[in-house]
Amino acid sequence: MVTLGSKALSLDEVYRILLGGEELALEAAALQQVEASYLFLEKFSAKKLIYGINTGFGPMAQYRISEEDTFQLQYNLIRSHSSGAGKCMSPLMTKGLMIARLSSFMQAHSGIHPEVVHLLKDLINKNVYPCVFEHGGVGASGDLVQLAHLALVLIGEGEVWYEGAYQPTASVFAKLNLQPISIHVREGLAIINGTSAMTGVGLVNLIHARKLLGWSVILSAMINEIVEAFDDHLSAELNVVKKHEGQNAIAAKMREILQGSKMIRHRPDHLYKELEEEVFKDKVQEYYSLRCVPQILGPVYDTLAHAEKLVVQELNSVSDNPVVDHHLGNVFHGGNFHGDYVSLEMDKLKIAVTRLSMLSERQLNYLMNDKLNHKFPPFMNLGKLGFNFGMQGVQFTATSTVAENQTLSFPMYVHSIPNNNDNQDIVSMGCNAAIMTQKVIDNTFEVLAVQVMTMLQAVDYLNCQDRLAAFSHKIYQEVRAIFPKFIDDSPRYKDLQKIKEYLVQHEPVQF
């Protein structure tokens, strides 16, 4: 059980809720503050002009709303902004969105009725996920369109994903004995006016990017191992003179993975002695994609660490407008719904993951090209050259997918388009940034799956299983259990999917 309240949520706690099957509980003291915020706003807003309670929204805020229309105003806002398009977000991303919105509300600065947080908590714990569309948010008065679809479900309308299918919200609520929320003061505006969609997707992205980095380190260590590279480019002595935390963490993890390997070579044993050859058969130094892994994945590590810091800060922040402060007895108007922090971090993460996929593709190409490696048959073909094709077909898939990543890596952060009658004259496009990053991450799992397939074929070609490090051998055995060695040609797309699912579901190393 993860308790949400006065203590900040960590990414690991989010992981436990999203993927570990743990339920959420709401801290009693924090719930009292949520109620106090609501009671204060209910009293404070009487006879005062407060944005979004007795005014219109955005550029129509100059219009006063009569007292008898204030509740309907909130319903109108929710229904009119439930205008998303494209695909519904995955249940996992939607769950992240719901956790992020609940976390913001539990800071007790939104003036919402406590029934909102109780229903949100119940939907998360009962695995009921609103249909929230990918397209619609511009990321600056919050993720208005995406969060409107959350609000639509909270008032008992729209559709939800439950027990493997989209169903009308009303029928699922009846089945689970759940009651929709009522509008009390500003529940409509409070629910839709925040960064919780981009933050929720960002949290999922961080979790999966962390897995990708771990797998890339493993595969980079294994390729160095099976080509019998020298170990000094991974040494503490070489890397410590570069002061970057990420570089040293990557090199240290690779040394840990390769402990006990009988294939990785110590340079002094081979080259630091008197040699008679004029031309060496051995490479004095490996290609960059093998030798420079700490320097390439180090920035990915550091980017991921910084993105985690800022997105988790956003998770534990109040993203709303206006902000209700019942302690100071005031309501503050501003721009805490603006998504620049998350948007920029998602763009940086997207670029870093694309770079990781590029490293994977170059390592894959090294294994495939016998003119480079001088060790393996072309395309890791374990059959008859010219007659069989080996990994030739799946290499095309990896190359194509990396190319798509490179195009998707154009940053959304610098692509603001004014809208809302120019009231929203500079926007973050943060939800777009997060969703595009999710696509790059998903693509990269496919690229790494091709690399895994090729690596295992290389191990079988060398028949070197017993010389691998214990860690490498464990990975070899686990993947071979779902992807047997092959010689004859057959469709590989189902194998690719199985290995991708294995990579997504496992996190074999942690930093």
265 DSSP β-pair partners: 230
Residues 6 or more apart whose CB falls under 8 angstroms from that of 11 comprise 203, 206, 207, 308, 312
CB-CB contact of 301 with 511 (8 Å): yes
User: What does DSSP assign to residue 384?
Assistant: -
Interior CA angle at 74 toward 70 and 78, to 5°? 160
Q: Annotated active-site positions, please?
A: 51
Closest among 379, 404, 346 to 200, alpha carbons compared: 346
Tokens of residue 162, six digits? 């439950």
In degrees to the nearest 10, what's the CA dihedral of 46, 47, 50, 53? 60
> Cβ contacts of residue 201 below 8 Å, gap of 6+?
89, 93, 96, 97, 431, 434, 435, 437, 438
CB 443 within 8 A of CB 494: no
Strand 24-26 relative to strand 2-4, pairing: parallel
φ, ψ of residue 278 to 5 degrees: the values are -90, -30
